[in-house]
Structure 1
């Protein structure tokens, strides 16, 4: 009997020891890989920014092009000035949106994009002309709820008027492949280019329409076939983020030269 107990005890000891060793190895690997993971995440976002602006090409050294042409800064959505004590290279929009100290709860009556809280500080990207160094494009973070979850994207606007769409890149979402997932289809994304966000009265006029929008429709984009809720989600996030509680006051200031001509 005692031999059986000794054998069982040894087995338990070996199992526990093996679990501890494996835990230490996994933890060590996670810690050791963290810098690499952060670096890859940063590079991935750089590629997303370039894609949104329409300048990402196959085989391109994205990091080099980003460093040469893109100026990133953290700005306040409360007073629309640069937040100089935040490092753009390490800033995380999602953390800012979830941190009570750097975000504001959105009242349900105003939360048409179903974001819950809006970050008070956000990261923007200014892409400059290679020859003149003049600003060409401004890229903004946008997000909103679709059918299955939050759609995260980047919107590129012309720096000339802060109104004309130059590109759109939904880089993360959980929408249904072949339906709502078509928000990443290059053919659909292409339909946004050249569209206007604001009307002459300064209000958001861009909308998604069923049945097809004509190519010369300034403020209309085709809705996604068979994906009404996703289409509604995209329209709603544009209405929120381009509106007075989102980027509109910031864009108004940038139109006057603030931030962008530094």
Structure 2
């Protein structure tokens, strides 16, 4: 009996030791790989930004093109200032949205996109031409689709109203239906559309039966909930609870460091 107990005890000790060693190895690997993961994530986002403004080609040197044509900054949507003390490479909009200290809980009536919280700090991307003049802006957008959150980037022309391009780089929508938000032919229909009406309010819509105005894009066939989600997320982010006040500041040239 004693031998059996001793054998069982040794087995448990070996198992526990193996678990401890494995946990140490996994933790060490995660910590060691974190800088590389952050670097790859930053590179992917650079590709997405260049894609949104039509600067990503098959032979594009992403790092070089991004450095020459894009200025990245973190801004506060609460006090409308640039946060120069925040590292733009390691900063994450998602982390900011999930942190109570850097986000605002949204009331249901002010949350058509189904976000729950809005990040108070966000990255924005100023687009420059060859002479270093600002020619546009790229903004993070997100909102609920049929099966989950749709993450994208909306590129605007110099007037901060006319759409230059859009890209949805992450989503869970149904392939062939809502998943068509990544279809280049549909994405192209956004170009030249205007977000705001003459009264300054958001007029953008995703409509069934064919877009007929400068504020409309066609709905996706067979994907009503996804199409509605896209409309709602644009209306939220470009409105008063999203980027609306920030865009007004940018038009007036009054964005300061904070």
Q: Give the 3-state SS of the residue equivalent to 1:151 in structure 2.
A: strand
Aligned to 1:33, the other structure's residue is in SS state helix
The aligned counterpart of 2:37 is: 37
CA distance in 1, matches of 2:89, 2:254: 21
Matched, 1:257 2:253: yes
2:206 to 203, 208, 215: 208
SS at match of 2:97: helix
What residue is the counterpart of 1:226 in the other structure?
Answer: 222
In structure 1, the residue corresponding to 2:108 is in which secondary structure? coil
- SS of 1:156's equivalent in the other structure is strand
Deviation (angstroms), 1:143 = 1.0
Q: What CA distance in whole angstroms lies between the structure 2 residues aligned with 1:251 and 1:175?
A: 30
Report what 2:185 is aligned to.
187
Q: Which residue of 2 aligns with 1:199?
A: 197
The 2-side partners of 1:60 and 1:21 are apart by: 44
Report the Cα distance in structure 2 between the residues aligned to 1:205 and 1:122, rounded to whole angstroms.
24
Distance (Å, rounded) in 2 between the aligned partners of 1:63 and 1:178: 32
Gaps of 5+ in 2: none
Residue 139 of structure 1 deviates from its aligned partner by 0.3
Q: CA shift at 1:230, angstroms?
A: 0.7
Instruction: Describe the SS at the equivalent of 1:90.
Output: coil
SS at match of 1:137: strand
Q: What's the counterpart of residue 158 of structure 1?
A: 157
Q: How far is the alpha carbon of 1:259 from its aligned partner?
A: 4.3
- Unpaired stretches in structure 1, ≥5 consecutive residues: none
CA distance in structure 1 between the partners assigned to 2:112 and 2:100 by the alignment: 20
| Match of residue 138 from structure 1 | 137
2:61 aligned partner: 61
Alignment partners' CA distance in 2, 1:16 and 1:99: 35
How far off is 1:189 after superposition? 0.7
2:112 counterpart residue number:
112
Tell which deviates more after alignment, 247-256 or 83-92. Answer: 83-92
CA RMSD of superposed structures (Å): 1.7
Task: Identify which range, 228-237 or 85-94, moves more after superposition.
Answer: 85-94
The count of corresponding residues between Structure 1 and Structure 2 is 256
Which residue of structure 2 aligns with residue 25 of structure 1? 25
Query: 1:195 deviation in Å?
Result: 0.7
Paired position in structure 2 for 1:235: 231
Aligned to 1:168: 166
